Amino acid sequence: MNDSQLIMKLAKQNNGVITTAMVVAMGCSRGSLKYLADKGMLEKSSRGVYTLPEVWDDEFVNLQGRYKRGVFSLETALFLWDLSDRTPNRYHMTFPGTYNLTSPKSEGVICSGAKEPFYSIGITEVKTPGGNIVKAYNAERTLCDILRPRNHVDVQIVTDAFKRYAGRKEKNIPLLSEYAGMLTVENRLRSYLEVLL
């Protein structure tokens, strides 16, 4: 099997999406991606991200491909975890505290910076509506983040998110409480949980 065939096979296995990093990791040539794009067998979705022509363009994957250190957070993470039915018109991403935010901000991404250890707490993988995997903060970390006054999240969104979370089978209240302690939102969390649980 040549490079082009391997790339097409991997793209089909990965929901029709392939990145330059995946191709390099397989030991294939980057030039094969350009060749496949020139032939119309792949479409360049964004820098380093290619899709099969019949695949819906997944903006979550495009942003993650361009900003590998970015983690979907706040209202965007609520949407990905099905804790909000509001489709984000702008995406929230959190980056390490030292990251240069000029480029993502120029693309309309709402950026936050976080120092360690706070940046790394609760990073996990989640499926996008297009069925692709991206990095986001887990539901518990996201719920604590939306309680922080500096994030200015609408109270209706917060209430709806907590109602949806309370109704889930897979909720993890001890983890939620642990994160609330780390992010100093214990009192605000308690007031929501007393009403809902």
Q: Hey, is 122 helix, strand or coil?
A: coil
**What was the pLDDT predicted at 82?**
96
Domain count, the chain: 2
On whether both 41 and 124 belong to a single domain, the answer is no
Q: Residue 89 in contact with residue 117, Cβ under 8 Å?
A: no
The two three-digit tokens of residue 86, written as one number: 């509001």
**Distance between CA 193 and CA 151 in Å, rounded?**
20
On whether both 147 and 88 belong to a single domain, the answer is yes
On whether both 87 and 145 belong to a single domain, the answer is yes
On whether both 113 and 176 belong to a single domain, the answer is yes
**What was the pLDDT predicted at 115?**
94
**End residue of a domain, out of 34, 57, 80:** 57
On whether both 16 and 45 belong to a single domain, the answer is yes
On whether both 127 and 191 belong to a single domain, the answer is yes
Closest CA to 120 of 90, 144, 103, 97: 97
On whether both 14 and 104 belong to a single domain, the answer is no
The residue type found at 115 is K
On whether both 130 and 48 belong to a single domain, the answer is no
Q: In this structure, how many other beta carbons lie within 10 angstroms of the beta carbon of residue 67?
A: 19
On whether both 129 and 189 belong to a single domain, the answer is yes
**Distance between CA 84 and CA 70 in Å, rounded?**
21
On whether both 156 and 175 belong to a single domain, the answer is yes
**One digit per residue, pLDDT tens: the chain, 197 residues?**
788 889 899 888 888 888 888 899 989 888 898 899 899 999 888 788 888 888 777 889 889 988 999 999 999 999 999 999 998 889 999 999 999 999 999 999 999 999 999 999 999 999 999 888 999 999 999 999 999 988 999 999 999 999 999 999 999 999 999 999 999 999 999 988 887 76
User: Where residue 23 sits, what CATH number does that domain have?
Assistant: 1.10.10.10
On whether both 44 and 94 belong to a single domain, the answer is no
On whether both 51 and 91 belong to a single domain, the answer is no
DSSP label at 90?
S
Which domain covers residue 34, as residue numbers? 3-57
Q: In this structure, how many other beta carbons lie within 10 angstroms of the beta carbon of residue 35?
A: 15
Query: What are the backbone dihedrals phi and psi of residue 28, each rounded to the nearest 5 degrees, phi first?
Result: -90, 160
